[in-house]
């Protein structure tokens, strides 16, 4: 029996809803006060599908991911950046050159990691 209700998935809505664009934001407003001795980057890596997914089968442990980062210094939030983890499919959908090895015998992760999280991506190997 078919249902007419739309399928919902808790990992695709509310606080878990996918972020659809990469951004770099600077001079962020702060509510309250950031202690001046906090100096560094806070990074979070989590799920974030780059393409449409089937809500009936999607789970946040599989699929694409995104790195989120914020730079704290001198009591300020200097910047926020987010970038998709550059797997083969993400590169293809973003219109970037897909330059991954085609051999399936080697053990390697199909992604790139940020170099200092400045938007310069380098191969993992």
Two structure tokens written together for 75: 């009591």
pLDDT over 90, % of the chain: 51
DSSP string, 57-95: T--TTSS-EEEEEEEEETTEEEEEEEEE---HHHHHHTT
Q: What is the residue extent of each domain of the chain?
A: 10-96
pLDDT (tens digit per residue) in 23-53? 999 989 999 999 999 999 999 999 999 999 9
Local confidence band at 60 (pLDDT 50, 70, 90 cut-offs): confident
Mean pLDDT of the chain: 81
Running DSSP on this structure, what letter comes out for residue 117?
T
103 pLDDT higher than 70: no
Q: What is the DSSP letter of 119?
A: S
CA–CA gap between residue 109 and residue 124 (Å, rounded): 8
């Amino acid at each position: 029996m078919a249902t007419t209700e739309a399928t919902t998935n808790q990992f695709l809505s509310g606080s878990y809803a996918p972020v659809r664009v990469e951004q770099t934001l600077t001079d962020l407003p702060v509510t309250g006060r950031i202690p001046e001795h906090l100096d560094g980057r806070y990074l979070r890596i989590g799920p974030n599908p780059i393409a449409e997914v089937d809500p009936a089968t999607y789970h946040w442990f599989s699929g694409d991911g995104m790195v989120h980062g914020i730079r704290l210094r001198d009591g300020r939030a200097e910047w926020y950046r987010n970038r998709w983890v550059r797997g083969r499919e993400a590169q293809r959908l973003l219109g970037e050159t897909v330059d991954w090895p085609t051999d399936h015998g080697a053990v390697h992760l199909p992604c790139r990691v940020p170099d200092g999280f400045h938007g310069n991506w380098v191969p993992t190997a």
